[in-house]
A = this chain, B = another copy of it.
Amino acid sequence: MFTMQPIGFVRSPFQITQAVPKGLGARHEEEGTIEILPEFEAGLMDVEGFSHLFVIWAFDRSEGYELVGRPPTDDRPHGVFATRSPRRPNPIGLTVVELLRRDGAVLHVRGVDMLDGTPILDIKPWLTGVAPEKLRRGWLDEAEQRPK
Protein backbone atom coordinates (compact mmCIF):
# COMPACT_ATOMS: atom_id res chain seq x y z
CA MET A 1 0.00 0.00 0.00
CA PHE A 2 1.15 3.53 -0.78
CA THR A 3 0.06 6.67 1.03
CA MET A 4 -0.17 9.89 -0.98
CA GLN A 5 -0.46 13.45 0.28
CA PRO A 6 -1.65 16.57 -1.58
CA ILE A 7 1.14 18.84 -2.86
CA GLY A 8 -1.45 21.52 -3.68
CA PHE A 9 -4.98 22.14 -4.88
CA VAL A 10 -6.76 23.14 -8.10
CA ARG A 11 -8.88 26.24 -8.44
CA SER A 12 -11.28 25.59 -11.29
CA PRO A 13 -14.64 26.94 -12.47
CA PHE A 14 -16.27 23.55 -11.79
CA GLN A 15 -18.09 23.27 -8.48
CA ILE A 16 -20.04 20.14 -9.33
CA THR A 17 -19.26 17.04 -11.38
CA GLN A 18 -22.11 17.74 -13.78
CA ALA A 19 -20.40 20.97 -14.91
CA VAL A 20 -17.24 19.26 -16.20
CA PRO A 21 -17.26 18.43 -19.94
CA LYS A 22 -17.32 14.65 -19.96
CA GLY A 23 -15.82 11.83 -21.92
CA LEU A 24 -12.51 11.03 -23.53
CA GLY A 25 -13.21 13.28 -26.48
CA ALA A 26 -14.40 16.31 -24.47
CA ARG A 27 -12.66 19.62 -25.10
CA HIS A 28 -11.20 21.19 -22.01
CA GLU A 29 -10.35 24.83 -22.60
CA GLU A 30 -11.24 26.22 -19.19
CA GLU A 31 -8.60 28.15 -17.32
CA GLY A 32 -7.76 27.57 -13.70
CA THR A 33 -4.89 27.62 -11.28
CA ILE A 34 -2.82 25.02 -9.54
CA GLU A 35 -1.76 26.28 -6.14
CA ILE A 36 1.21 24.41 -4.77
CA LEU A 37 1.67 24.31 -1.00
CA PRO A 38 4.53 26.54 0.26
CA GLU A 39 6.62 23.57 1.41
CA PHE A 40 6.74 22.18 -2.14
CA GLU A 41 7.20 25.44 -4.09
CA ALA A 42 10.95 24.90 -4.59
CA GLY A 43 10.09 21.85 -6.69
CA LEU A 44 8.59 24.13 -9.35
CA MET A 45 12.01 25.53 -10.37
CA ASP A 46 12.18 25.70 -14.19
CA VAL A 47 8.69 24.34 -14.69
CA GLU A 48 7.80 27.56 -16.52
CA GLY A 49 9.90 26.46 -19.50
CA PHE A 50 7.40 23.77 -20.44
CA SER A 51 4.32 24.55 -22.49
CA HIS A 52 2.38 21.55 -21.19
CA LEU A 53 2.35 19.65 -17.93
CA PHE A 54 0.96 16.39 -16.69
CA VAL A 55 -1.09 16.99 -13.57
CA ILE A 56 -1.74 13.89 -11.47
CA TRP A 57 -4.53 14.35 -8.98
CA ALA A 58 -6.97 12.54 -6.74
CA PHE A 59 -10.68 11.97 -7.38
CA ASP A 60 -11.37 13.01 -3.79
CA ARG A 61 -15.15 13.08 -4.21
CA SER A 62 -15.47 9.67 -5.87
CA GLU A 63 -16.38 6.59 -3.84
CA GLY A 64 -15.64 2.99 -4.64
CA TYR A 65 -14.99 1.63 -8.11
CA GLU A 66 -16.69 -0.13 -10.98
CA LEU A 67 -14.58 -2.39 -13.22
CA VAL A 68 -16.99 -2.18 -16.15
CA GLY A 69 -19.18 0.82 -16.80
CA ARG A 70 -20.80 3.00 -19.44
CA PRO A 71 -18.84 6.19 -20.13
CA PRO A 72 -20.61 9.44 -21.09
CA THR A 73 -19.25 9.20 -24.65
CA ASP A 74 -20.79 5.83 -25.45
CA ASP A 75 -23.91 3.79 -24.82
CA ARG A 76 -21.88 0.58 -24.46
CA PRO A 77 -19.94 -0.62 -21.43
CA HIS A 78 -16.13 -0.62 -21.30
CA GLY A 79 -13.51 -1.61 -18.77
CA VAL A 80 -12.45 1.11 -16.34
CA PHE A 81 -8.86 0.96 -17.65
CA ALA A 82 -10.14 1.80 -21.14
CA THR A 83 -11.94 4.90 -19.82
CA ARG A 84 -11.36 7.94 -17.63
CA SER A 85 -14.10 7.04 -15.18
CA PRO A 86 -13.59 8.53 -11.70
CA ARG A 87 -14.66 5.24 -10.09
CA ARG A 88 -11.25 3.53 -10.34
CA PRO A 89 -9.50 1.03 -8.03
CA ASN A 90 -7.02 3.84 -7.26
CA PRO A 91 -8.81 7.19 -7.63
CA ILE A 92 -6.05 8.83 -9.69
CA GLY A 93 -6.84 11.48 -12.28
CA LEU A 94 -4.50 12.64 -15.02
CA THR A 95 -4.81 15.83 -17.04
CA VAL A 96 -2.52 17.47 -19.59
CA VAL A 97 -2.73 21.23 -19.10
CA GLU A 98 -1.19 24.12 -20.98
CA LEU A 99 0.93 26.28 -18.69
CA LEU A 100 0.03 29.92 -19.29
CA ARG A 101 2.28 31.44 -16.62
CA ARG A 102 3.72 30.92 -13.18
CA ASP A 103 3.35 33.33 -10.26
CA GLY A 104 5.45 31.84 -7.49
CA ALA A 105 3.62 28.82 -6.19
CA VAL A 106 0.64 29.40 -8.49
CA LEU A 107 0.48 27.91 -11.97
CA HIS A 108 -2.05 29.49 -14.33
CA VAL A 109 -3.16 26.80 -16.71
CA ARG A 110 -5.63 26.09 -19.50
CA GLY A 111 -7.42 22.81 -19.83
CA VAL A 112 -8.58 22.01 -16.33
CA ASP A 113 -11.20 19.28 -15.98
CA MET A 114 -11.00 18.86 -12.23
CA LEU A 115 -13.49 20.06 -9.65
CA ASP A 116 -12.59 23.17 -7.67
CA GLY A 117 -10.50 22.16 -4.67
CA THR A 118 -9.19 18.90 -6.14
CA PRO A 119 -5.98 17.74 -4.43
CA ILE A 120 -2.89 17.55 -6.67
CA LEU A 121 -0.50 14.63 -6.16
CA ASP A 122 2.22 15.32 -8.74
CA ILE A 123 3.27 17.44 -11.69
CA LYS A 124 5.56 16.31 -14.50
CA PRO A 125 6.68 17.87 -17.76
CA TRP A 126 4.70 16.68 -20.74
CA LEU A 127 6.77 15.36 -23.62
CA THR A 128 5.29 13.24 -26.28
CA GLY A 129 6.91 10.57 -28.33
CA VAL A 130 3.95 9.09 -30.15
CA ALA A 131 3.44 10.04 -33.78
CA PRO A 132 -0.20 10.85 -34.58
CA GLU A 133 -0.26 8.29 -37.40
CA LYS A 134 0.69 5.53 -34.96
CA LEU A 135 -2.17 6.27 -32.60
CA ARG A 136 -5.33 4.17 -32.34
CA ARG A 137 -8.16 5.25 -30.07
CA GLY A 138 -10.12 2.01 -29.72
CA TRP A 139 -13.77 2.14 -28.76
CA LEU A 140 -13.74 5.94 -28.73
CA ASP A 141 -13.22 6.18 -32.49
CA GLU A 142 -16.04 3.70 -32.99
CA ALA A 143 -18.39 5.55 -30.64
CA GLU A 144 -17.66 8.87 -32.33
CA GLN A 145 -18.30 7.44 -35.79
CA ARG A 146 -21.52 5.68 -34.80
CA PRO A 147 -24.67 7.56 -35.92
CA LYS A 148 -26.23 9.36 -32.95
The residue from B94, B128, B138 contacting A130, defined by CB atoms under 8 A apart:
B128
Chain B residue nearest to A59 in the complex (CB): B2
- Given known pairs A125-B83, A128-B130, A134-B51, the reply for A7 and B90 (CB within 8 Å) is yes
CA distance A119 to B45 in the complex (A): 29
Contact partners of A127 in chain B: CB under 8 A? 24-25, 135, 137, 140
Residues A64-88 near B (CB distance < 8 A): 67-68, 77-84, 88
A89 at the interface (CB under 8 A from B): yes
A14 at the interface (CB under 8 A from B): no
The smallest beta-carbon distance between A122 and chain B, in angstroms, is 5
The smallest beta-carbon distance between A86 and chain B, in angstroms, is 12
Is B90 a contact partner of A4 (Cβ separation < 8 A)? yes
The residue from B42, B128, B136 contacting A50, defined by CB atoms under 8 A apart:
B136
Contact partners of A92 in chain B: CB under 8 A? 4, 56, 92, 121-122
